[in-house]
Amino acid sequence: MKYLNKSWIRKSSLFILSMILVSPLFAWAANAVDYSEPLENAAHQIGAIGEGYSLFSGIFPEYSLPGTNIVLDTAVAGFFGVLVTFGLAWSIGRIIKKGNE
Amino acid sequence: MHIPDGYLDLWLCGIFYLLTLIVLSYSGYKARENLDEKKVPLIGVVAAAIFAAQMLNWPIPGGTSAHFVGGALAAILLGPYVGVLSMASVVTVQALMFGDGGILALGANIWNMALIDVFVGYLIFRLFKNKNKSIAAFLAGWIAITAASLFVGIQTGLSTIFKFQLQTTLLIMVIGHGVLGIIEGAITASAYRYLIDVRPDFFEKSNKKEVEA
């Protein structure tokens, strides 16, 4: 069997895409319980920190896009995130492989 | 587990940037010896899948949530050195694109979620894999995420900007993630079980080469 054949790539892509498609549901549910990171909750509960600061909040802060709704935001942000992560990790692999040749 | 900016002292951010760069460079060097051509796209697929899985935040009443982190699975699937690079890609994109984890804290976040999670996960898996591979994968996922949370506790505990003592931050992080880590272990074992059934060749080569390294 070829290592990453078309069928395997299709299955992997569908699996990743399905996670992205359901992610808005999780974002909506997290929003409903007023979610924040466990570490931030712990910090607030024990009064360990007054105000955090942010130097840079990202291109899509909190996995969202300005002016759209939470469902679309999360799916689009997730889609871009997956593409960029794949591209970055693959590029690192290619650079390392080239250096070895 | 992503540490935002404002939680760690600058000197700690600097130390963990430095330590992370050293270990990542070493991993890149070791990965050169182990990486085979056909595995290159798999690094991207694993990173993309882990990124997507981390978006699935399971809400827990009380205003918190848990998500799969995936370092141990990356280690088992890709080997430690390549796994580290794959996980570091995920954590970097999360910080730069989505502000998930601070820029100053990025070194510490990569240290915890990429280096510790991956290397501890790999060591635990190797330690127990001859007894039972599924249990080894479960323990790898569970212990590795707990070890990563231990480092979050140490980093925030040592930080003067985070006004709480080391033993308190350690307790909060380790107990919390030690419990949630059972889910991480279960997902790691299930994913491993599925992949080794459908694609045993993914594991044979990578692990053999890493053992030889």
- For residue A2, being part of any structural domain is answered with no
Residues B97/A78, Cβ–Cβ less than 8 Å: no
Q: Decide if A27 and B97 are in contact by the 8 Å CB cutoff.
A: no
Separation between Cα atoms, residue B7 and residue A88, nearest integer Å:
27
Of B126, B188, B119, the closest CA to residue B148 belongs to: B119
Q: Decide if B99 and A81 are in contact by the 8 Å CB cutoff.
A: no
Q: Is the pLDDT of residue A1 over 60?
A: no
Question: pLDDT: is B106 or A77 the higher one?
Answer: B106
Helices B166-198 and B200-212, interaxial angle, to 10°? Answer: 120
Write the DSSP string, B128-173: HTTT-HHHHHHHHHHHHHHHHHHHHHHHHHH-SSS-S-HHHHHHHH
Distance from CA of A68 to the nearest CA of B (A): 16
Separation between Cα atoms, residue B206 and residue B204, nearest integer Å:
6
Distance from CA of B65 to the nearest CA of A (A): 7
ipTM for the whole predicted complex goes beyond 0.90: no
- pLDDT value at residue A33: 66
The mean pLDDT value for A59-87 works out to 83
Which residue of chain B has the CA closest to A100?
Answer: B32
State residue B143 phi and psi, 5-degree precision.
Answer: -70, -35
Instruction: State the pLDDT confidence band at A53, using cuts at 50, 70 and 90.
Output: low
- pLDDT value at residue A61: 80
Instruction: State the pLDDT confidence band at A49, using cuts at 50, 70 and 90.
Output: low
The mean pLDDT value for A52-64 works out to 73
Report chain B residues whose CB lies below 8 A from the CB of A4: 38, 41-42, 45
Report chain A residues whose CB lies below 8 A from the CB of B94: 81
- For residue A87, being part of any structural domain is answered with yes
**pLDDT over 90 for what percent of chain A?**
25
Bridge partner residues of B163 (DSSP): none
Separation between Cα atoms, residue B213 and residue B207, nearest integer Å:
10
Residues B57/A35, Cβ–Cβ less than 8 Å: yes
Report chain B residues whose CB lies below 8 A from the CB of A90: 40-41, 43-44
Domain of residue A67, residue span: 16-32+59-101
Residues of chain B with pLDDT under 50: 206-213
What total of structural domains would you count in chain A?
A: 1
- For residue A44, being part of any structural domain is answered with no
- pLDDT value at residue B13: 95
Residue position matching structure tokens 């459908």: B198
Structure tokens at B75: 């280690």
- pLDDT value at residue B151: 92
Domains of chain B (ranges, CATH numbers): 10-212 (1.10.1760.20)
Residue position matching structure tokens 């990124």: B51
Separation between Cα atoms, residue B70 and residue B64, nearest integer Å:
19
